[in-house]
Amino acid sequence: MSTMLLDRRGQSTPVQWWDLFRMELTNWRWSWRSSVLQGTITPLFSLLALGFFARDSGREALLYVVTGNIVVSLLFGAMTSVESRVSWLRFQGGLDYIATLPVRHSAFVLAMVAAFLLLSLPSVIVTATVGPLLLGAPVHIHPLILLVIPACTAPLAGVGAALGMTGRTQQQSGNLRFLLTLVMTALGPVIVPPDKLPGFMMFLGHFSPATYAASALRQVMVGPVTARLALDMLVLCAVTAVSMAWVGWRMGRREE
């Protein structure tokens, strides 16, 4: 057998990741619209509407509205964009292209999540700065926010990717994502403080990554940072790992 045929090799995993990350960044060409509309305008309006109402309920309620809406920005921004992207790849033949390149599926999933993390940052920054300014909410940024924002974005992007791989049609994936966005916003102390939530919603909130993201953000934006942050980060990292591993495995599975 000719050596030309046998000696062919692709790139190392880090190089694959870097190329795929740059390829995925080209998604800004369409995703900026959803980032502006859903990742920025939706949480800002929600923040203003709920914020003016919550001011009468005290400082704590106001701070829940501010930090909760950053999570909403991630749900509508990162999770929506990644779900749309994966769903589009699945149903428009893009996964065939990726699956027939000599790249690890895990490198592709990591590259996609990292790219959308970067693409969601402008919405998060706008929501996190404009909201408190308009509402006059007292925030004190802790340097750990630099770790917390990626840690909050990655699991939601991972869940978006899993939803994109799940639906039987592109529309079904979109509907599932919309439903889950609403459920994750409502369950647990994300926008609403725990003393205003019924017990069963508090209980169910333990199973939602948005609860842990909101808790982590509150600690680094309002304080104090406690041991609870370690638990939040652990859960967020676990959701990221499980969702991304599942998506990578599902991508590698050949069609029946």
The residue ranges that bind another protein (CB under 8 A) are 1-2, 4-6, 8-11, 16, 19-20, 22-24, 26-27, 29-30, 92-94, 96-97, 99-103, 252, 254-256
CB of 11 to another protein, least distance (A): 6
The encoded tokens of residue 91 equal 């149903």
* Residue 118 or 134 having the CB closest to another protein: 118
Q: How far is CA 189 from CA 211, 215, 221, in A?
A: 6, 8, 16
CB of 6 to another protein, least distance (A): 7
* Residue 11 or 175 having the CB closest to another protein: 11
Closest by CA to 240, choosing from 170, 150, 175, 176, is 150
* Residue 9 or 140 having the CB closest to another protein: 9
d(CA 47, CA 41): 10
d(CA 124, CA 77): 9
* Residue 94 or 138 having the CB closest to another protein: 94
d(CA 204, CA 212): 12
CB of 31 to another protein, least distance (A): 9
d(CA 238, CA 207): 12
* Residue 102 or 143 having the CB closest to another protein: 102
DSSP 196-218: GS-HHHHHHHTT-HHHHHHHHHH
Q: How far is CA 19 from CA 31, 37, 99, 173, 185, in A?
A: 19, 28, 15, 27, 34
CB of 197 to another protein, least distance (A): 41
CB of 96 to another protein, least distance (A): 5
139 and 156 Cβ atoms separated by less than 8 Å:
no
Q: Residue 201 burial (CB < 10 Å; 0-12/13-18/19+)? A: middle
CB of 77 to another protein, least distance (A): 17
* Residue 23 or 125 having the CB closest to another protein: 23
